[in-house]
Amino acid sequence: MIPGEEAVIKGNEIKIAQTDPSKNTAWQRDEFYFDGNNLQDIVGQLARWYDVDFINSELLTGTSTYKGSINRDSKLSTVLNVLAFATQRKFEINGRKVIIE
């Protein structure tokens, strides 16, 4: 194998596949790394990391995907401001709940 490849074991087969080293090592840099993720996936990651519940997340339908990274040490409000800019949605923090408008 060479850098940028990963071994995937399925049953008795081992397949070599291309991978994105930036995505696979984002956790080492304390980053959220999104590469074609939809908004539901993104808020799911944020909910787990910041221990919050997103209200109205069922409204996050659509085929739009997002790319980018942001430091996991960032305040939730900072992350939501970036997300609001990218998605044209509003996010309001109310205790442990984030209301999506």
Per-residue pLDDT tens over the stretch 12-61: 999 998 887 777 777 778 888 888 888 888 999 999 999 999 998 777 77
89 phi and psi angles, rounded to 5 deg: -115, 165
Residue 37: Cβ-neighbour burial (10 angstroms; 0-12, 13-18, 19+): middle
Strand (E) or helix (H) holding 70 = strand 66-71
Q: What is the pLDDT of residue 6?
A: 86
Specify the residue for token string 């490849």.
Answer: 5
SS3 66: strand
Q: Is the pLDDT of residue 82 over 90?
A: yes
Mean pLDDT of 78-90: 92
- Which of 75 and 10 is assigned the larger pLDDT? 75
The percent of residues above 90 in pLDDT, for the chain, comes to 46
All domains of the chain in start order, with CATH: 30-100 (3.55.50.30)
pTM over 0.85? The answer is no
